[in-house]
Amino acid sequence: MKDAQKEVVSSLFIRSIDAIINEKQKNPKMAKKIKNFKAKINIGLQIAPNDYLWINFISNDGKIEINRGKLERSYDLSIMAVPEDLMFFTNGEYSLFHMLFKKNKYGMRKIRFGKGTTGRNIKKILKLPKIFVMDKN
């Protein structure tokens, strides 16, 4: 994948997640959940069998930062998925169960996660759908 294509994929994903979170922050109940969600997550967008585009997601006291690159020092969780599968997850078409147990186009699970430098934070993956998935109207 060329650098221009990588830039398009990462910016599209960053803008999508940012738009979902901004929409959720308008709802007082969700704004409280977002404020209480503290996490530093590395998201690896798999663009080839062994090639990832890394994005980091930092949430602290309701302030959300989404940037390109991988957090090296301190992070809670590392998630890896194909961009298309992650987009279907965020728009609500794929459930977390589907993402955990089905295979992607490279023969791996649609979403894979690993422990971060702060330890094993499995509970955070269960909270991700509440933050990343669009609400159905």
Domain range enclosing 75:
3-132
Is 137 inside a domain boundary? no
Supply the pTM of this predicted model. Answer: 0.87
CATH number, domain of 95, equals 3.30.1050.10
Q: Could you say which DSSP state residue 73 is in?
A: S
Q: Is the pLDDT of residue 120 over 80?
A: no
User: How many domains in the chain?
Assistant: 1
Query: Is pLDDT larger for residue 2 or for residue 57?
Result: 57
Mean per-residue pLDDT for 50-69?
92
Residue 90: pLDDT band (50, 70, 90) is: confident
Mean per-residue pLDDT for 96-113?
92
Is 37 inside a domain boundary? yes
Provide the pLDDT for residue 136: 67
Cβ neighbors of 109 (< 8 A, separation 6 or more) are 99, 100, 101, 102, 103
Distance separating alpha carbons of residues 20 and 60, to the nearest angstrom = 17
Give the C-alpha distances (Å, rounded to integers) separating 111 from 62, 78, 80, 102: 25, 10, 6, 9
